[in-house]
Amino acid sequence: MNTEMEKTNEYFIFDQKCNMLLQENEIRFAGIINRMGRSVAGGSKKGIPSLVDDAELQKMYIELALRVSMRQEFDYCLGPVKYCASRREKALVMSFPLDSNILLVSAEPSTNVDKIANKIMKIIGLN
């Protein structure tokens, strides 16, 4: 069981990783969401307007946490999910399960999914 200090250190490291991801030109947002759908690290790239307001963002976090949890039901037969991606008109949205947390990344819609996903997994240490 993690102590509060270990959790704080973990979130600090996550925040650093999110800041590294935000250095990539095509990434608009990089954040860590816990299993309850709460943001615990990261955020939007400075100077890039958000596509959703705070209330919609919170709903998206909760929905993401639920989807990731539901996908894990099939890990035993299909193996664990490495990442999921959704290409939308205005953004590419990707999620990466991280033990008890989830990395959520939003990128420009023209971004090459596999290329950026591999780069993200390398930066975050999932390879």
Q: Which pLDDT score is estimated for 119? A: 95
Across residues 111-115, what is the average pLDDT?
96
Q: How are the residues of the chain apportioned to helix, strand and coil, as percentages rounded to the nearest 5? A: 45, 25, 30
> pLDDT digit string (tens) for 36-85?
999 999 999 998 888 888 899 999 999 999 999 999 999 999 999 999 99
Q: For the range 55-62, what are the long-range contacts, defined as Cβ-Cβ under 8 Å and sequence gap of 24 or more?
A: 61/33, 61/37, 61/104, 62/36, 62/37
Order of strands across the sheet that contains 101-107: 39-44, 27-34, 101-107, 92-98, 84-87
Domains, the chain, in order of start with CATH, read 4-124 (3.30.450.30)
Q: Which pLDDT score is estimated for 99? A: 85
Q: Which pLDDT score is estimated for 3? A: 66
